[in-house]
């Protein structure tokens, strides 16, 4: 039964999307509290086992879930309530979380981490032997790291709070290290560490315990279950020491393991939250560029209205120096507009009547009257955010492999820990005649601690998040997993000509008339092309307007895709299109052949005009190369890529452009379906192909290519067909995107290798029972830290700025998220 009758659409914490089958429904929801790939597995298993649910797909990097289900059996609110019960938060993916809300969550989790860290530092003080060099060195590394993190977290509040807080904890921990050696204090040590363990597990980390309990209740073994198993094993080991008081038994150390393993989970949760939030905010910050108010002209009056009250069709006045509040078309005025936040170009662009402006741009020294063309979710900036938030993105094959491994990882670790515990119990009894309980607990607990799975779970997503955030800063949106995994493997890059290599703004350069006046020929061509949105057609209409040639009325119009148009004017058939098109229609162009050839040889695109089977003349249109085209093509060639120029334009014009930029292979005069076919031919034999385009006619080829790359200034359908979007509309961003793809995948592979290396070696060693549980905790902490720092390697400022920015008062000069 549908829930539409019980929950108003505006109050639903989900959005509805078209399903793959007519008898199915699909919802999308934002899931808060995701930490690593084990979380995605938890959700997929929890929902996938419900009656009526066909498919569940979760994106960790975008914190969203897609659920396809039978609406006659399952209800969206019931499904999402399951996730709430487990401990995740649910919100509408269409609504962007306010910065203030995200910052409050970061501050809250930061405080949780500070409290847990304080307990860990005190626990280290309790269990460290100041006379034991090895223990002192190992514990010292953890101690210094935690003190450094405390300083970083508190630094946002000012230098003195950070100094006093970090030094105060350091002094307290060091003092405990020596005070605990006093006879009067020794007996209290295990009780105090035990109390801290209980407070941390059941108080500060209570949310982890609840999530573990809900997971076990549903038969799911995830990182929360494994963490709590380790924490409870540490507490159990400590309780054995308190109850039976075996000689030399490390009671406090067992409790300390529970403290520190919980602390590190809290830390990794918080750090994951920072990285994901800051990477997302790097793009979301664009929305802050949109003013809150706009000057709207209605009924002859100028009103200052909130942006939410502005509608499509309103006239908005923008004064010099103001930010453009909406997307729109200039109706009156002329100004230079700074669009650098989109294009990356520092030079303002001229905007006059008929030109488009983007909300967030900065108006220059002229006043503009703009007709609103898009508001709210339809605006350019909102579209950018939706691309970043798309839950179906960013699932490269390697991440699927990691997910599959993690499905069996936790049960495997639990089995190994149990076998290690039982093995040492029975083995010590058979060999020595008495049970070595301490060694058995050491073995089981060390396996649980060393087997902490979040190093594996965060390994791939962190590199993706880092890559997506870095790409967004460079004006590149990586929309799919292929953008990360596939682009680096591409061997051939196919480039569209118009709008990709060239500016895509052709103009009429020459007019050749057989009979009659040039303005008459131009007027007929403009009349025929007036209904077309093709850049060449628009160039003809613009030329007629500028020369004052008035186009006659058209009584019928038929477009022949990729060739031209057939119209009827004053009862006569008028043909306008490529010379080949007119010849196919039996229009004699013999007397123009030499001139057409000469024009095409110079790179001009020729449009022929005919009336009732007779040639009237030709228009020669020229485009200019993008300023960065030659450099971009050279960069791709130096990267070992084979480049192909693919265009619907004539052979001579295409080869002229190819020669100018340095491309050897040219396919000219290709229709839209032919472009996709050529891509298929290039893919024969397993060659991986990327297609770069910007027009509707490029969409089939973009979809066919292994990696589709759309220029941000292109059509919506081209952008929707692409894996990568070049927001800056600059061709030199293509090699940048490939480098980001290569670097991100390399980081992903390094992280996964590091994670499996740590766990693959650590778990068998821990099972020997020769590893002190605290040392296992240190090794686990090192593995997770290594993953984080490897993800941020080369840009450590990303980490420091991100941590320092949490909780910094507004106006305190917080570093901008990177």
Which residues does the annotation mark as catalytic? 496
The span from the CA of 95 to the CA of 106, in Å, is 19
What stretches of 306-396 show up as alpha helix (H) in DSSP?
340-343, 380-389
The CA R_g of the chain, rounded to the nearest whole Å, is 33
SS3 category, 55: strand
Kind and range of the H or E run holding 690: strand 689-693
The span from the CA of 394 to the CA of 405, in Å, is 18
Q: For the chain, first and last CA: distance in Å? A: 45
Kind and range of the H or E run holding 615: strand 614-622
Are 284 and 477 in contact, with CB atoms under 8 Å apart? no
Q: What is the DSSP string of 160-198?
A: HHHHHHHHHHHHHHHHHHHHTTSHHHHTTHHHHHHHHHH
Quickly count: other Cβ atoms within 10 Å of residue 342's Cβ.
21
The span from the CA of 525 to the CA of 513, in Å, is 12
Are 347 and 325 in contact, with CB atoms under 8 Å apart? no
Kind and range of the H or E run holding 803: helix 796-805
Kind and range of the H or E run holding 276: helix 251-284
> What is each CA distance from 185 to 191, 245, 253, in whole angstroms?
11, 16, 16
Cα 633–Cα 637–Cα 641 angle in degrees, nearest 5 = 115
The span from the CA of 585 to the CA of 812, in Å, is 72
Give buried/exposed letters for 49-76 (b at 16+ CB in 10 A, else e): ebeebbebbbbbbbbbbbbbbebeebbb
Give backbone dihedrals phi and psi of 770, rounded to 5 degrees, phi first: -90, -5
**Edge-to-edge strands of the sheet including 335-338?**
349-351, 335-338, 362-363
Give buried/exposed letters for 602-633 (b at 16+ CB in 10 A, else e): ebbbbbbbbbeeebbbbbbbbbebbebbbebb
Cα 180–Cα 182–Cα 188 angle in degrees, nearest 5 = 55
Q: Which of 178, 202, 180, 179 is nearest to 251 (CA)?
A: 180
The span from the CA of 765 to the CA of 443, in Å, is 9
Cα 760–Cα 445–Cα 790 angle in degrees, nearest 5 = 40
């Amino acid at each position: 039964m549908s829930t539409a009758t019980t929950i108003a659409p505006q109050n639903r914490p989900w959005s509805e999307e078209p399903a793959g089958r007519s008898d199915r429904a699909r919802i999308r929801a934002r899931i808060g509290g995701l930490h690593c790939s084990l979380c995605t597995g938890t959700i997929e298993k929890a929902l996938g086992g419900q009656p009526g649910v066909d498919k569940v797909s979760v994106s960790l990097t975008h914190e969203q879930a897609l659920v396809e289900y039978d609406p006659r059996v399952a209800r969206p609110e019931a499904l999402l309530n399951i996730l709430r019960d487990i401990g995740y938060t649910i919100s509408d993916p269409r609504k962007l979380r306010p910065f203030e809300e995200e910052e409050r969550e970061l501050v809250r989790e930061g405080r949780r981490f500070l409290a847990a860290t304080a307990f860990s530092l005190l626990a280290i003080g309790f269990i460290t032997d100041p006379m034991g060099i090895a223990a002192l060195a190992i514990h010292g590394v953890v101690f210094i790291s935690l003190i450094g993190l405390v300083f970083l977290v508190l630094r946002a509040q000012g230098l003195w709070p950070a100094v006093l807080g970090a030094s105060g904890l350091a002094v307290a921990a060091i003092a405990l290290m020596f005070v605990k050696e006093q006879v009067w204090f020794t007996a209290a040590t295990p009780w105090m560490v035990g109390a801290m363990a209980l407070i941390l597990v059941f108080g500060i980390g209570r949310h982890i315990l609840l999530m573990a309990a809900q997971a076990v209740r549903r038969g799911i073994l995830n990182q929360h279950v494994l963490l709590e198993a380790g924490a409870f094993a540490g507490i159990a080991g400590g309780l054995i020491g308190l109850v039976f008081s075996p000689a030399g038994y490390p009671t406090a150390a067992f409790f300390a393991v529970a403290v520190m393993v919980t602390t590190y989970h809290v830390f990794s949760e918080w750090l994951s939250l920072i990285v994901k939030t800051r990477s997302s905010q790097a793009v979301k910050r664009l929305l802050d560029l949109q003013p809150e108010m706009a000057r709207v002209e209605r009924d002859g009056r100028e009103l200052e209205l909130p942006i939410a009250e502005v509608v499509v069709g309103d006239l908005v006045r923008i004064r010099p120096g103001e930010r453009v509040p909406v997307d729109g078309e200039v109706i009156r005025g002329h100004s230079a507009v700074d669009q650098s936040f989109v294009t990356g170009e520092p030079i303002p662009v001229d905007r006059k009547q008929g030109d488009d402006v983007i909300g967030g741009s900065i108006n220059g020294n002229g006043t503009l009257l703009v007709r609103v063309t898009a508001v709210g979710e339809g605006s350019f900036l909102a579209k950018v955010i939706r691309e970043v938030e798309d839950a179906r993105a960013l699932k490269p094959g390697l991440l699927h492999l990691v997910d599959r491994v993690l499905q069996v990882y936790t049960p495997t670790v639990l089995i190994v820990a149990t076998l290690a515990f039982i093995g040492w119990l029975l083995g010590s009894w058979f060999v020595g005649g008495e049970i070595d309980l301490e060694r058995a607990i050491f073995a089981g607990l060390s396996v649980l601690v060393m087997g902490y799975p979040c190093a594996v779970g965060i390994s791939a997503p962190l590199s993706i998040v880092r890559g997506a955030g870095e790409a967004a800063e460079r004006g590149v949106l990586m929309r799919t997993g292929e953008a990360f995994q596939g682009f680096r493997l591409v061997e051939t890059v196919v480039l569209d000509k118009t709008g990709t290599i060239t500016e895509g703004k052709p103009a009429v350069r020459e007019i050749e008339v057989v009979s009659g006046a040039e303005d008459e020929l131009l007027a007929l061509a403009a009349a025929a092309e007036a209904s077309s949105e093709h850049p060449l057609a628009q160039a003809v209409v613009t030329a007629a307007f500028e020369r004052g040639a008035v186009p006659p009325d058209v009584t019928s119009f038929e477009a022949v895709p990729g060739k031209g148009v057939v119209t009827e004017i004053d009862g006569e058939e008028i043909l306008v299109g490529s010379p080949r098109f007119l010849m196919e229609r039996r229009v004699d162009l013999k007397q123009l052949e030499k001139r057409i050839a000469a024009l095409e040889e110079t790179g001009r695109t020729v449009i022929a005009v005919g009336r009732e089977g007779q040639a009237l003349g030709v228009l020669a249109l020229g485009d200019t190369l993008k300023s960065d085209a030659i450099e971009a093509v050279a960069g791709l060639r130096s990267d070992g890529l084979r480049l192909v120029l693919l265009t619907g334009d004539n052979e001579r014009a295409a080869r002229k452009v190819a020669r100018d930029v340095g491309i050897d292979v040219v396919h000219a005069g290709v229709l839209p379906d032919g472009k996709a076919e050529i891509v298929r031919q290039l893919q024969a034999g397993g060659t991986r192909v990327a297609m770069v385009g910007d027009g509707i006619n490029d969409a089939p080829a973009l979809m066919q290519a292994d990696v589709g790359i759309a220029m941000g200034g292109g059509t919506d359908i081209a952008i929707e067909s692409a894996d990568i979007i070049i927001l800056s509309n600059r061709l030199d961003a293509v090699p940048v995107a490939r480098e980001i793809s290569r670097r991100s995948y390399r980081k992903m592979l390094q992280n996964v290798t590091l994670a499996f290396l740590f766990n693959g070696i650590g778990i068998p060693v821990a099972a020997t029972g020769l590893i002190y549980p605290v040392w296992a905790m240190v090794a686990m902490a090192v593995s997770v830290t290594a993953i984080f720092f490897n993800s941020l390697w080369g840009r450590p400022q990303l980490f420091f700025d991100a941590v320092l920015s949490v909780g910094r008062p507004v106006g305190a000069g917080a570093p901008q998220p990177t």
